[in-house]
């Protein structure tokens, strides 16, 4: 994995100053590129480091010779790669510059970017290319810097030019992308990746100050993954003497939601400036699941179906749907929806008998459950077993990889789940 430093050379009359970052003095120079490279001097001595400097014709004529000599003398092991670019006066030239930026980056590079100089659109272009290359070339951003010459100040007899480390803004973009992916698609992995990067960056400071945030992110991960693999166990089943057993949040959407709500309430006000900007993102993520705010297994099941449909998690939607119908029937007949016999040997048996029109002599029902099963068969709204049969047929089609007699197209399965869900809501409302 090579370190590559990218910068654009401008045409201004650069003036010398003592460059500093976070009040730490680096080097006195007229070129920000020299200061940025100085920060990675140790790595240049020990590793393969390349410096790609993008040059318009006028910038090359005015500054490159001097800059090259400075860098070549100061860092003999640094590979300096000059890359000619157009002025960007036309749309075609702008795209040519984009391509030059992109082609300078190689697979798995670690990237440092200086966005100080050049035409105003070029630093933005360079940042877009970096994010583009994150996807296509699996690069990692090690640093993004801006030399704020206009913010220089005097210290004794010297002009101090601050260098702003704006890498955190790139991280904030990743947090935003992660939140958007979770809110719209239910996938927690991108935002979890951003969290782990920040946790590693902060090290011991994180472990001491942000334990509740760690618990919140774990609970968010558990919730998302419980939906992905349809973990609908009642939280009550996972308690021992009133306390949740180990890994309960990995076995139950309800338990994960309970933990998520508790840890969110306990989230501290962040003192770290970067975390302060992340807090509104976390608030938005939490708001996206506020419809799950219930201790009812039935209510959580209904919302889990809706969530899965909205996030296009169709197999999950059918699986959760089938089980939630049984939960609903248990509730109607005051049966324990967490009891296996009640769900399967009574409710599922009754629904299957009606849906498949099974004659009584062919019933496979335990003697002790005959009366309850018969009661359900005689009194249940006929729309419920009909719905259960339709959902079950499509669930089986999916679970058997479409290798069934009554296979449906993916379009039918997607459209049907939406219609069947609306039918279910109407049944609940009417009863």
Domain ranges of the chain: 3-165, 172-292, 307-430
Q: What is the pLDDT of residues 345-355, one digit of tens each?
A: 999 999 999 99
| Coil, helix or strand at residue 15 | coil
| Coil, helix or strand at residue 55 | strand
pLDDT confidence of 276, banded at 50, 70, 90? confident
Please determine, for residue 267, whether its predicted confidence score (pLDDT) is greater than 90: no
> Which range in 125-129, 229-233, 391-395 is most confidently predicted, on average pLDDT?
391-395
Q: What is the pLDDT of residue 249?
A: 86
Whether the CB-CB separation of 147 and 29 falls below 8 Å is answered with no
Q: What is the pLDDT of residues 160-177, one digit of tens each?
A: 899 999 998 899 999 999
Distance CA 188, CA 48 (A): 35
Please determine, for residue 97, whether its predicted confidence score (pLDDT) is greater than 80: yes
Distance CA 305, CA 403 (A): 24
Whether the CB-CB separation of 408 and 416 falls below 8 Å is answered with yes
**CA dist 390 to 52, 240, 412, Å?**
61, 38, 12
Strands 158-165 and 153-155: antiparallel
**CA dist 209 to 60, 129, 216, 264, 387, Å?**
49, 35, 14, 15, 51
The mean pLDDT of the chain is 90
Distance CA 410, CA 413 (A): 5
pLDDT confidence of 241, banded at 50, 70, 90? low
DSSP code string of 147-191: E-GGG-EEETTEEEEEEEE-HHHHHHHHHHHHHHHHHHH---HHH
Distance CA 394, CA 249 (A): 29
Q: Which of 92, 118, 96, 94 is nearest to 6 (CA)?
A: 118
Q: What is the pLDDT of residue 144?
A: 93
Q: What is the pLDDT of residue 293?
A: 82
| Coil, helix or strand at residue 81 | strand
Characterize 10-36 residue by residue with b for buried, 16 or more Cβ atoms within 10 angstroms of its Cβ, and e for exposed.
bbeebeebbbbbeeeebbebbbbbbbb
Run of H or E residues at 240? strand 239-240
Distance CA 105, CA 4 (A): 8
Distance CA 347, CA 352 (A): 9
Per mean pLDDT, which range of 139-153, 305-319, 376-390 is the poorest?
A: 139-153
* Class in CATH terms, 3-165: alpha beta
Query: How is residue 395 written in tokens?
Result: 């669930």
Residue of 425 and 235 predicted with greater confidence: 425
């Amino acid at each position: 994995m090579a370190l590559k430093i990218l910068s654009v050379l401008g045409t201004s009359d650069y003036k010398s100053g003592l460059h500093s970052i976070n009040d730490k003095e680096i080097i006195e120079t007229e070129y920000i590129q020299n200061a940025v490279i100085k920060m990675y001097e140790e790595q240049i001595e020990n590793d393969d480091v390349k410096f790609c400097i993008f040059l318009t014709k006028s910038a090359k004529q005015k500054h490159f010779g001097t800059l090259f000599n400075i860098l070549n003398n100061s860092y003999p092991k640094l590979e300096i790669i000059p890359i000619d670019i157009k002025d960007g006066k036309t749309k075609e030239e702008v795209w040519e510059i984009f391509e030059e930026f992109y082609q300078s980056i190689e697979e798995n590079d670690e990237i440092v970017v200086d966005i100080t100089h050049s035409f105003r659109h070029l630093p933005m272009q360079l940042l877009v290319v970096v994010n583009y290359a994150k996807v296509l070339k699996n690069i990692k951003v090690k640093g993004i810097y801006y030399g704020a010459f206009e913010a220089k100040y005097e210290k004794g007899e010297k002009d101090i030019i601050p260098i702003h480390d704006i890498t955190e803004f790139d991280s904030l973009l990743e947090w935003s992308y992660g939140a958007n992916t979770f809110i719209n698609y239910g996938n927690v992995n991108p935002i979890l990746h951003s969290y782990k990067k920040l946790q590693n960056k902060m090290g011991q400071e994180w472990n001491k100050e942000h334990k509740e945030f760690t618990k919140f992110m774990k609970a968010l991960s558990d919730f998302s993954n419980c939906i992905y693999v349809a973990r609908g166990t009642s939280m009550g089943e996972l308690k021992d003497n009133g306390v949740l057993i180990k890994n309960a949040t990995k076995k139950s959407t309800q338990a994960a939601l309970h933990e998520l709500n508790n840890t969110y309430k306990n989230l501290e006000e962040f003192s770290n400036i970067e975390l302060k900007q992340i807090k509104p993102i976390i608030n938005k993520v939490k708001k996206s699941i506020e419809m799950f705010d219930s201790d009812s297994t039935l209510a959580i099941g209904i919302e889990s179906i809706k969530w899965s449909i909205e996030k296009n998690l169709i197999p999950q939607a059918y699986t959760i749907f089938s089980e939630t119908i049984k939960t609903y029937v248990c509730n109607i007949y005051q049966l324990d929806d967490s009891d296996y016999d009640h769900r399967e040997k009574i409710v599922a048996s009754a629904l299957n008998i009606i849906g498949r029109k099974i004659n009584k002599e062919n019933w496979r029902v335990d003697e002790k459950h005959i009366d309850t099963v018969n009661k359900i068969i005689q009194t249940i709204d006929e729309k419920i077993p009909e719905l259960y049969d339709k959902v079950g047929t499509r669930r089986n089609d999916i679970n058997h990889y479409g290798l069934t007699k009554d296979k449906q197209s993916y379009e039918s399965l997607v459209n049907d789940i939406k219609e069947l869900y609306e039918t279910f809501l109407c049944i609940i409302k009417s009863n």
